């Protein structure tokens, strides 16, 4: 249910993103027409260390990498994927 045209989304901050954002899990209130780009803008405004790496981040919803214009839905869960270093 939406109030005042806003919705909550939940973000898992993976790897070093947890340090940049100060938490492993975040919840934010965004406009109900928000996209992944909107989310990153908000997070970048709140967390300068994330802002510096914004262009090198991927964002996933479940098993899928989503593009910046992916339209968010209420209570959607997303993951911030910093540059990877496995293998």
Partner 1 sequence: MTTGNLRPPRLRPGALNLAEFLAQPAPPHCGALAVFAGTVRNQHDERTVTGIRYHAYAPLAEKRLAEIEEEGARRYGVRLAVAHAVGELKVGEISVVVVARAGHRGEAFAACRWAIDAIKRSVPIWKEERYADGAAEFLEGNPLRPVSEP
Q: Contact with partner 1 (CB under 8 A): which of 1, 5, 56, 69?
A: 56
24, two tokens: 């492993």
Six-digit token string for 69: 């214009």
CA–CA gap between residue 26 and residue 10 (Å, rounded) = 6
Question: Does residue 87 touch partner 1 according to CB under 8 A?
Answer: yes
Only one of the segments 1-9, 28-36, 43-51, 59-67 lies at the binding site for partner 1 (rule: CB under 8 A); that segment is 59-67
48 binds partner 1 per the rule CB under 8 A: no
Number of residues that bind partner 1 (CB under 8 A): 21
Residue-wise DSSP of 16-82: THHHHHTSSEEEEEEETT-BHHHHHHHHHHH-HHHHHTGGG-EEEETTEEE-TTPBP-TT-EEEEEP
Least gap, CB of 56 to partner 1 (angstroms): 5
Residues that bind partner 1 (CB under 8 A): 12, 14-16, 19, 56-58, 60, 62-65, 79, 81-87
């Amino acid at each position: 249910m939406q109030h005042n045209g806003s919705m909550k989304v939940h973000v898992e901050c993976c790897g070093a993103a947890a340090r940049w954002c100060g938490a492993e899990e975040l919840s934010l209130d965004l406009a109900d027409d928000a996209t992944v780009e909107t989310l990153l803008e908000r997070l970048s405004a709140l967390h300068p260390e994330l802002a510096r790496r914004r262009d090198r981040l991927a964002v996933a919803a479940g098993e899928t990498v989503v593009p910046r214009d992916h339209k968010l839905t209420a209570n959607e869960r997303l993951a911030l994927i910093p540059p990877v270093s496995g293998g």
